[in-house]
Amino acid sequence: MTHTTTCAPSVELDPACTPAHIENRSFEIIDAEIPEPRPFEGALWSVARRCIHTLGDTDILRDLRLSSQGLEAGVAALLAGCTVYTDTRMAAAGLPMRRLEPLGVTVTPLMALPGLAELAASRGTTRSRAGLESIAQNMGGNIVVIGNAPTALLGLLDELAQGAQPPALIVGMPVGFVNAAQSKELLRQSPWAHFTLLGRKGGSAVAAACINALADIALEKRGLRDVAAL
């Protein structure tokens, strides 16, 4: 199949047109634009490349912080059928269940917790932070994904400082101008297994992309990679 266009006939289009082909071509382009040696190798590069692909921005590589500790812990948690807690429904929507159901993984957006608005109002905080505080005693062995709310990431770090069981992995990539960069810098300085993207950039989509990359690795370990094919 070839592309045609009437508005810009002089523009050469890439022939990729199916979801799988487009994704593979995107990864080829990223690999070509960021040649070896790269700051990440092997499975970590698979995570980094998916983050770059999601944001369409190779410049994020210098601010991306990924660790082998976080990758191993995250994959192990997924293989154990953990719960993935997300700060927003948008982040949860970025996690296709075709990748997670074969692993026995469930996704719980904090915003879906009952009574959250009332709890946040009573505590004078955001719903995302109130939600994080609500699940603080259930984080051990699970994964927490924060792509939108710095208040949730700050709340998570506060709960951990007070002795809460740490998640297997924290994906802390809130986006924005108010405490987004600060909360991620505090996460970077913490001892907890984490992935983060320093600075103001981030978002639900790139945070979810990290879990999708880890899920692909977990599925491959189980011999189930084909079930997640696009």
Q: What are phi and psi of 73, to 5 degrees?
A: -70, -40
**Nearest in space to 128 (alpha carbons), one of 117, 139, 138, 137:** 117
CA–CA separation, 16 and 24 (whole Å): 9
The separation between CA 164 and the C-alpha centre of its own chain, rounded to angstroms, equals 22
CA–CA separation, 179 and 184 (whole Å): 8
Whether 53 is catalytic is: yes
CA angle (174 as vertex; 211, 69 as ends), nearest 5:
45
SS (H, E, C) 138-161: HCCCCEEEECCCHHHHHHHHHHHH
Catalytic pick among 3, 21, 53, 194: 53
Cα→Cα distances 100→77, 137, 154, Å: 12, 23, 27
CA–CA separation, 194 and 2 (whole Å): 42
Q: How many CA atoms lie within 13 A of 108 on its CB side?
A: 16
Query: Any idea which residues carry the catalytic annotation?
Result: 53
